[in-house]
Structure 1
Amino acid sequence: MPTTLVAEESQITNLNLMFGASGVECNELVTTLSSEATTFDIIQSIIKTKPTEIDSPFSVLDLRVVIDLMNKWTTNLPTVKPFYAVKCNPNISLLSALASLGSNFDCASLAEIKSVLSLGVSPERIIFANPCKMESHIKYAASVGVNVTTYDSVGEVEKIKRWHPNCELILRIKPEEETGAQFRLGLKYGAFLNEVPKLLKAANMAGLKVTGVAFHIGSMGANAQAYSGAILLAKTVFETASQLGMPKMKILDIGGGFSSGSKLDEASLIINDAIKSYFENEENLVVIGEPGTYFAETTFTLATKVIGKRVRGELKEYWIDDGIYGTLCMTLYDYFIVTCSTLKFGSKHENVTCKDTKTYPSTVFGPTCDSTDTVLKEYPLPELEMNDWLVFSNMGAYTTACATNFNGFSSSAKNIYIAYLS
């Protein structure tokens, strides 16, 4: 059995020392008084103790959550090595924490590879998981020793042969179903089963070694049962390569699409059973996954300040200093469930949470001059005043990573506070 990571005090201390010495991009390190302190407690403390110094909007990264998620991954998927999908949230503090906990990394570009390597991570812990890469990015990967990448076309084989002939290939295939997925990556990537022999032969003729198979069942709401069919399909590709007389494959990449809730329990049962059923006789098999949302979503909490107010009868309208062009971009999607709390630091009764007071249908706008920048519509909120705060949970996945500087406004990306145990 593999060693399970445990969220012990010594482990937190190691993370504290790492952040203290690494110069990660954050405003300061926030020490919680006890393990019982919540992220909400930390946000209140930051606002209360530094009312004139605090830059808003800001996010809090809770390292305790990162550790708990790694523990759960290791317990539920003991044979699957995590390769964190950097695109989901490239915050250097999160990458540092994951690196220290033993995670590997899924990078899709030169910039992402550079960011991970800057932390002292070995290039062997990186997969260049982009089936269509710029030539300059392939050259860079070759120069720094990132020697595993994905492909799904003959054209990509030609580029890799020319610019990175020592690179090992993983063939990206298209799962037969992406049931329920809000983001169906199969629309853009993956080879059909009838294309597999041609792609394997192309790599073999080019003198490139194909060491495995990758797939992605889609993100946000994908049916976990799809993993079983995709793993069976991958087994078929392993067999096809063997029939063509190619070297034995060793890597099974089951992609991403994992969530941090109870769905991981369901997915892990299906994945573990499928690996055992279809790859039981495969010696030295290496199984990897590419979790992004799983590690990022619940680890970040966003704090935004009320910068404007308008009352129209029962309807209350507020402006905050972050919006859909910034960290709150995910609120545009119907499937995103907004979890919003309030802090009355600008109201008469300072530092009062607003859980048991009367609520009103409220509209919340972002700071830009675009009327599309509307975060909430007719959302039940207590009456707020200028300099009160709205706090949004689960704001780590595809938030700051997708934010813009539209209209000159920045997201919370530059203002990250790290929560850890003292």
Structure 2
Amino acid sequence: MANRPPLPSEGVNDTVTRIRAFLDTYRPPTPCLVVDVDTVVDRYRRLATAFPGSRVQYAVKANPHPAVLRALVAAGAAFDVASPGEIDLCLAAGADPASLSYGNTVKKPSAIAHAHAAGVREYTFDAESDVDNLARYAPGSQVSARVLVQGGPDSVTPFGHKFGCHVDEAVRLLLRAAGKGLDPVGVGFHVGSQQLDPSAWDVAVASAAKVFAATAEHGVNLRRLNVGGGFGISYSDPAPATSVYADAVTAAVRAHFAQPPELVCEPGRAVVAEAGLVRSEVVVVSRKLPTDPHRWVYLDVGRYNGLAETENEAIAYRLDVVGPHSQEDGPVIIAGPTCDGDDVLYQRTPYRLPLSLRPGDVIDILAAGAYTASYSSVAFNGIEPLRTYCISEGRLISGE
């Protein structure tokens, strides 16, 4: 990274202030995640305003906490679901089945049957077997083909080649879907999570437009374009504003479609990340040798109980040391609490923390509402999953 992550106390905002006021009053054990659902709703509304006339489907995988889902249901959001479990969570939170879209292209026939029985009528595929299973277990449903994004800039956490198919295959599968009685409505794609280059959408939209044109030649007229998620938020490095992403997507659609299709987006991180804060405790501070310039700082939260996205140091969270400390700081290597050698969070990223840091001190991990609790393991090393507390107007509304 060109610039080191910010020193403590930089970048603190109103959401963090509200969460800290709750933490000071409630004093839950660490580590824990606190989510301000008012901020979740605010970020959803910002996206809905930036994409007027579009359907904004929250990617449930980012943070499936029931309080988050209930707040988004009340705000009028739709939902991108990836499993029967996520479907059930959304329905329990009061979501209309018609607001759910099954976006995962990897699903068992039993999962499709479960979704269809629950009232889900929109699905995405990228393989022939999935088309056939959808025709059998979700007859008449609306379906979209997911295309593989190639040639664009990489995101911070790219999907590689796991999802999507080539343009020609997408055309073939959509025609097959039509022949089997499904309703082919469109094309979807994803440019990668935490995509910091808005130009990535132009490459993907161009590919989708080719599918629209090719299927139309065979009498199948698509009408919906799902531009996925991937809208970044600012961690240690700044991300473009929501309006910049929206302008880039809109410009790409206008450039590649004579008649703009229905637009769908599926943000997850952009809705919930900035709403959350992980409070952690320093367990050990040590040096491997007295002359070692780097101190090792071990936290009670690591890769397996909330910070999975630190793998390969992809996401460099902003860290804020709580309480008074010396102004003088020094370089650190940050690690988690487990007895796994891979549970080292940051070695290459140049973090610096106060020289006065001691065991028992508290560090807040900012913008940590997405892909933390939902990635947390069940009980690796006997460490429980990351506890989550949700607040609204500064008051606890849901917590363990």
How does the TM-score come out when normalised to structure 1?
0.80
Matched, 1:416 2:378: no
Give the partner amino acid of 1:73: L
Q: In 2, are the aligned partners of 1:55 and 1:415 still within 8 Å (CA)?
A: no
Q: Distance in 2 between matches of 1:50 and 1:210?
A: 51
Q: Tell me, what secondary structure is at the counterpart of 1:353? A: coil
Matched, 1:401 2:374: yes
Matched, 1:305 2:281: yes
Deviations 1:231-281 (A, max 9, x none): 2332232222222123x3221111111123425333211211233344453
Q: Tell me, what secondary structure is at the counterpart of 1:187? A: coil
| Counterpart mapping for 1:185-204 below 5 A | 185=159, 187-204=161-178
Give the partner amino acid of 1:288: V
Aligned length: 372
Structure 1 residues 206 and 72, CA, compared in 2 at 3 Å: closer, same or farther? same
Give the partner amino acid of 1:76: A
| Counterpart mapping for 1:141-290 below 5 A | 141-185=115-159, 187-221=161-195, 223-246=197-220, 248-260=221-233, 261-281=239-259, 285-290=261-266
1:334 is aligned to: 313
Q: Distance in 1 between matches of 2:213 and 2:67?
A: 42
Deviations 1:374-397 (A, max 9, x none): 334474222233432011101122
The match for 1:321 among 296, 300, 307 is: 300
Q: Distance in 1 between matches of 2:314 and 2:19?
A: 26
Matched, 1:381 2:384: no
Matched, 1:38 2:14: yes
Matched, 1:370 2:340: yes
Deviations 1:271-299 (A, max 9, x none): 112333444535xx421011111112211
Percent identical residues: 27
1:4 is aligned to: none
- 1:109 Cα deviation after fit: 0.7
Runs of 4 or more, structure 1, over 6 Å off, are: none
Q: Distance in 2 between matches of 1:186 and 1:305?
A: 35
Q: Distance in 1 between matches of 2:44 and 2:284?
A: 40
Q: Distance in 2 between matches of 1:175 and 1:362?
A: 37
Give the partner amino acid of 1:289: C
The match for 1:353 among 324, 330, 338 is: 324
Task: Judge which range, 310-319 or 253-262, deviates more.
Answer: 310-319
Structure 1 residues 203 and 211, CA, compared in 2 at 3 Å: closer, same or farther? same
Structure 1 residues 48 and 208, CA, compared in 2 at 3 Å: closer, same or farther? closer
Q: In 2, are the aligned partners of 1:178 and 1:223 still within 8 Å (CA)?
A: no
Q: In 1, are the aligned partners of 2:279 and 2:364 still within 8 Å (CA)?
A: yes
How does the TM-score come out when normalised to structure 2?
0.84
Q: In 1, are the aligned partners of 2:97 and 2:119 still within 8 Å (CA)?
A: yes
Deviations 1:121-176 (A, max 9, x none): 00110100112311110010110110110112221111112211132211112234
Q: Distance in 2 between matches of 1:199 and 1:45?
A: 53
Q: Distance in 2 between matches of 1:188 and 1:330?
A: 18
Structure 1 residues 40 and 223, CA, compared in 2 at 3 Å: closer, same or farther? closer
Structure 1 residues 384 and 134, CA, compared in 2 at 3 Å: closer, same or farther? same
Q: In 1, are the aligned partners of 2:37 and 2:390 still within 8 Å (CA)?
A: no
Give the partner amino acid of 1:338: Y
- 1:94 Cα deviation after fit: 1.9
Q: Distance in 2 between matches of 1:360 and 1:229?
A: 43
Q: Tell me, what secondary structure is at the counterpart of 1:136? A: helix
- 1:337 Cα deviation after fit: 2.1
Q: Distance in 2 between matches of 1:365 and 1:231?
A: 40
1:56 is aligned to: 30
RMSD: 2.5
Task: Judge which range, 389-398 or 214-223, deviates more.
Answer: 214-223
Q: Distance in 1 between matches of 2:171 and 2:346?
A: 50
Give the partner amino acid of 2:251: D
Task: Judge which range, 332-341 or 118-127, deviates more.
Answer: 332-341
Q: In 1, are the aligned partners of 2:278 and 2:366 still within 8 Å (CA)?
A: yes
Structure 1 residues 297 and 333, CA, compared in 2 at 3 Å: closer, same or farther? farther
- 1:96 Cα deviation after fit: 2.0
Q: Tell me, what secondary structure is at the counterpart of 1:159? A: helix
Q: In 1, are the aligned partners of 2:184 and 2:222 still within 8 Å (CA)?
A: yes
Q: Tell me, what secondary structure is at the counterpart of 1:362? A: strand
- 1:50 Cα deviation after fit: 4.5
2:8 is aligned to: none
